[in-house]
Amino acid sequence: MADEYGKPPYNRKLDIPYEYSWENLKSKKGADVETLYTKLLQELGKKPGMLDQIFTKAQNKIQDPAMLFKVVDMIDKEEWVVMGTDVKGIIYEGLLEKNAEDTKSGAGQYFTPRDLIKAMVKCIRQEPLKTICDPACGTGGLFLAAYNYLTNPENYQLDKEQKEYLKFHTFVGNEIVASTRRLCLMNMFLHNIGEIDGDIPISPNDLLIADPNVRYDYVLTNPPFGTKSSMTFTNEEGQQEKEDLVYNRQDFLATTSNKQLNFVQHIRTILKVDGKAAVVVPDNVLFEGGAGKIVRKRLLETTELHTILRLPTGVFYKQGVKANVIFFDARPAAKEPWTKEIWIYDYRTNVHHTLKKDSMKFDDLKEFIECYNPKNRHERKETWSESNPDGRWRKFTYEEVTARDKTNLDIFWLKDKSLVDLDNLPDPDVLAQEIVENLEAGLESFRSLLNELMEK
């Protein structure tokens, strides 16, 4: 694409020497193409701007020169700049999902199901000329869903100023894994966000270390799973050891090594006074004691935590994840707690999904979106009642929640039908998968308990 931009009608001057250009690469054959490609990756990683970030630590994984030549030839036959953004996006997103399905690569932990992302974006309803931050952006799925929402003519008719702001100023993120950050930057560029010779603010730094002193209108994120932050160092004997990372920040509500709790605290800090957040969190964030109790209590007081979506198992590529999406709005300092009531949608009890046979689709979350009522979330109606105990949408007052042990937000009320209706059990493979998920989730809970005991 850089090569195409350098030719008519664009004629842009890009800082890529001919030696490392596409033109030169496609002229090589045999071992020469492999030698040049390997050198090209190293040299382009030293360039400023987006190119530098895309090619940082890039390695040639195609060891067969004939296959590499074939790939170069196939790419050269397409006109990439004029190809529709939606087409390029679909191709790339498809590759990312395929990559996430490969459990050996571990890429699944950076890939959030796109239908869940779409539902989160639909509820938040981002507006033009506002900033969107994802402090753990992975491959950029949340950015792209927000971009698609803002560019959809059914939602907004963007003027020139709004389009330019969307392209260059709307999105800010962090991703500490170099290979994942590269996937994110390419994903954004292929969706027409940023310029190849410009800079995109996807930082490789550990954002939890300090308050960045920048505030955003929206935070949409799925922080990495795993309860503890740690760093590896070499001791005096030359052996590698791990040490838990505890972030001592004045803006944090509690000091803990729990990674998810730290992300939640960080998100609260970086929101503007009227900012909105939608965050995927594991169950332990909702029920863990110690620092967890402090963070939940203060979050209810200092923000308006208005909605929780309980997600089923079998949704994420990483097994054993029992997760939720919490929605909260930042508010200015006040004497009274901002959260008056919490609405919970239980899309977990009696719901069975598997990634291969029956993955969760956007349509599965349509009832939740209708209940959420994005146009005016202050006008909601419960589907649960004494006469309809199977209703999945129910509200709880601030007093009811804070009266629970440890301000536990892991609330459920529906009866598990598999415990009483033995004639209509799910298929054996679904049951087996759920057993695995529950065992993995149980291990995570025990780890959380152990962490809590060690912190005391």
Q: Which residue has tokens 């920040």? A: 249
Residues 309 and 416 in one domain: yes
The residues pairing with 278 across neighbouring beta strands, listed in sequence order, are: 220, 327
Q: Kindly report the length of the chain.
A: 456
Pick the closest to residue 305 from 451, 419, 407 (CA basis). 407
The CA distance from 77 to 4, in Å, is 12
pLDDT reported for residue 179: 84
Residues 59 and 128 in one domain: no
Q: Which residue has tokens 């959809």? A: 152
Residues 146 and 14 in one domain: no
Residues 56 and 177 in one domain: no
Domain termination site, one of 44, 76, 108: 76
Domain termination site, one of 43, 76, 109: 76
pLDDT reported for residue 424: 64
Residue 321 contacts residue 282 (beta carbons within 8 Å): yes
CATH number reported for the structural domain that contains residue 438 in this entry: 3.40.50.150
Residues 167 and 53 in one domain: no
Residues 146 and 176 in one domain: yes
Q: How many structural domains comprise the chain?
A: 2
Handedness of CA 355, 359, 362, 364 (dihedral sign): negative
Q: State the DSSP H helix or E strand holding residue 202, giving kind and residue range, or none if neither.
A: strand 202-203
pLDDT reported for residue 248: 82
The CA distance from 440 to 443, in Å, is 5
At 447, give phi and psi (nearest 5°). -65, -40
Residues 206 and 296 in one domain: yes
The CA distance from 113 to 199, in Å, is 27
Residue 152 contacts residue 122 (beta carbons within 8 Å): no
Residues 10 and 29 in one domain: yes
- Residue 355 has a CB neighbour count (10 Å cut-off) of 18
Residues 168 and 25 in one domain: no
**CB neighbour burial string for 388-424, b if at least 16 within 10 angstroms, e if fewer:** eeebbbbbbebeebeeeebbebbbeebeeeeeeeeee
Residues 239 and 178 in one domain: yes
Domain termination site, one of 50, 76, 102: 76
- Residue 193 has a CB neighbour count (10 Å cut-off) of 20
Residues 10 and 128 in one domain: no
The one-digit pLDDT tens for each residue of the chain (456 residues) are 888 988 888 888 877 889 999 999 999 998 999 999 999 999 988 877 787 888 888 889 898 999 999 999 999 999 988 888 778 888 888 888 888 777 665 666 768 888 999 999 999 999 999 999 999 999 899 999 999 999 999 999 999 999 999 999 999 999 998 888 988 998 888 888 888 777 778 998 988 999 999 999 999 999 987 655 544 444 455 554 555 667 788 899 898 888 899 999 999 999 999 999 999 999 999 998 999 999 999 999 999 999 999 999 888 877 667 899 999 999 999 999 999 999 999 999 998 887 777 889 999 999 999 999 999 999 999 999 999 999 999 999 999 999 999 999 999 999 887 665 666 666 776 677 677 777 776 776 677 667 667 656
Pick the closest to residue 113 from 141, 144, 149 (CA basis). 141
CATH number reported for the structural domain that contains residue 40 in this entry: 1.20.1260.30
Structural domain including 268 reads 85-455
Residues 391 and 428 in one domain: yes
